Amino acid sequence: MADDLAPVFAALADGNRRFVLETLARRETATATELAAELPVTRQAVAKHLAALGDAGLVRATREGRESRYRLTPGPLGEAMAWLATVGAAWDERLASLRSYLERERDS
């Protein structure tokens, strides 16, 4: 499953892309021009970030006249969160076992 999520994590690795996702989460849709107005990067850079987010399945574009409107598609984020929760739970179990072991050693 982690290999399927590689594009999602790669897309999330960039701060500007995370900002774009956060902005889209607060709105129904936005254009690249609208998003660029809120970032210290060009519209062209925002378009490239949106393409990377689209490749990862995190946004979907719909044409409206001359512009594309982008919408968040949260499915891949949910899958990434589920994977992280699984990995986190495994570490919680390991750390609890280590804590128990150390307490037994200390008490013996």
pLDDT at 23: 92
pLDDT at 101: 81
- What is the pTM assigned to this prediction? 0.75
pLDDT at 2: 59
Which domains, from first to last, does the chain contain?
6-107 (1.10.10.10)
**pLDDT tens-digit readout, 72-98:** 998 888 888 888 888 877 677 778 788
Residues 6+ positions from 7 with CB-CB distance below 8 Å: 55, 56, 57
pLDDT at 86: 84
pLDDT at 1 exceeding the cut of 60: no
Element (H, E) at 48: helix 43-55
Buried b (16+ CB within 10 A) or exposed e, 7-37: bbeebbeeebbebbbebbeeeebbbbebbbe
**pLDDT tens-digit readout, 23-62:** 999 988 999 999 999 888 999 999 999 999 999 999 999 9
pLDDT at 103 exceeding the cut of 90: no
